[in-house]
A = this chain, B = another copy of it.
Amino acid sequence: MAQAHSSSTSPIRIGIVGYGNLGRGVEAAIAKNPDLQVVGIYTRRDPAQLQPLHAGTPVHRMDALAQHQDRVDVLILCGGSKDDLPVQSPQLAAQFSLVDSFDTHARIPEHFAAVDAAAQGGQTTALISAGWDPGMFSLNRLMGEALLPDGVTYTFWGKGLSQGHSDAIRRVPGVAGGVQYTIPVDEAVEQVRSGTRPDLTTRQKHRRECHVVLAEGADADAVRRSIVEMPHYFDQYDTTVHFISAEELARDHTAMPHGGFVIRSGSTSDGVSQVVEYRLQLDSNPEFTASVLVAYARAVHRMRVARQYGCKTVFDVAPGLLSPRSAQELRADLL
């Protein structure tokens, strides 16, 4: 595998499939990686209507992809996990090496099987579920468990904007707009860090904060009740609802910060506690996710060149493959 590290002279050619927040993040991330190059954005929209970040980036119709197999080394799929990726990833993996950010945890085995069949057939390398959770958090769950088998892993999310929960409050009658922040409970994080390995309920780990714009004439109390009692989404949490104006929503709540912690607390012998913590503080969730996808696209290209075909996850990628630097440089400078 060490051989695959040597940097090639021509850049790795990336195609971006889908151009929402994540696709724009990928375009921005590639600009920070001189060994990678965007050769095209592929969209279901009218290409003429799409404004890429960099004016020179070619924009194509999605169906042009079938003819672009020779132009692209790796596709980065930027669609959603609900409707886009379950169809696109297996379909495109038959022809292209690719990276996706499929994040429906429960359906990962099924998605893996579909993508693996296509990638084995097409002799491509397709990495699924990259990003930060699944992705970097998954890696840290795995490493924590492997290094400290006698221990407990805790994942905390936030402070961050949750897309799913924001969508849920926007569906409540009387709500004109709103966002939801997931916030780890400080006391719980401190308890876990101290090495005590507490049992924590859902309510003890996270709280939820909603900023809601009322529709005209809506009953604030009724809206608040509908939110905090909503099954699954809110009823198991301490939830606070703040009513704000449409102006405040637009001014203060358009960023997409997120992050969180993976903490493994274990012991290596009687009374000897060891705590490993991985923490993300992200100003922009989609831009960080995009940066992860881009680094894994580099690894995927190298794995395909090394004929390591099939579906992969972050668990299968040697970390050195993520860096543009040679194995020798990495050992000398970073080890």
A interface residues (Cβ-Cβ under 8 A, vs B): 1-2, 25, 28-29, 32-33, 105, 108-109, 112, 129, 134, 136, 138-139, 141-143, 145-150, 193, 195, 268-269, 271-284, 287-288, 290-292, 295, 298, 308, 310, 312-320, 322-324, 327-328, 330-332, 334-335
Contact = CB atoms under 8 A, between A and B. Distances in A.
Q: Which 4 A-B pairs have the closest CB atoms?
A: A315-B320, A268-B287, A146-B322, A277-B279
A72 B328 CA distance: 30
A62 B45 CA distance: 70
A146 B275 contact: no
Contact of A334 (B145, B275, B310, B319): B145
B287 A283 contact: no
A26 B87 CA distance: 47
29 contacts: A1-B308, A1-B316, A2-B312, A105-B335, A109-B332, A138-B334, A142-B323, A142-B330, A143-B322, A146-B298, A146-B319, A147-B295, A148-B291, A193-B281, A268-B284, A268-B290, A269-B287, A274-B283, A274-B288, A276-B278, A313-B331, A314-B319, A315-B318, A315-B319, A315-B320, A315-B330, A315-B334, A316-B327, A317-B319
Contact of A268 (B25, B272, B331): B25
A276 to B, nearest CB: 6
A11 to B, nearest CB: 14
Contact of A108 (B292, B324, B331): B331
Contacts of A271: 283
Contacts of A273: 283
Given A275-B280, A277-B277, A277-B279, 11 more contacts: A33-B149, A109-B331, A143-B319, A145-B334, A146-B319, A193-B281, A268-B287, A269-B287, A274-B284, A277-B278, A315-B327
Q: Which of A129, A316, A334, A335 is most buried by chain B, counting CB atoms within 10 A of its CB?
A: A335
Q: How many copies does the complex hold?
A: 2
A152 to B, nearest CB: 14
Contacts of A283: 195, 271-274
A170 B100 CA distance: 56
A33 B266 CA distance: 13
A217 to B, nearest CB: 39
Given A277-B279, A318-B318, A272 B292 contact: no
Nearest to A275: B281
A142 B334 contact: yes
Contacts of A148: 291
Nearest to A328: B109
Contacts of A278: 276-279
A331 B146 contact: no
Contacts of A318: 315-318
Contacts of A141: 334
A326 B28 CA distance: 36
A295 B105 contact: no
Contacts of A139: 319
Given A142-B334, A275-B281, A331-B109, A288 B315 contact: no
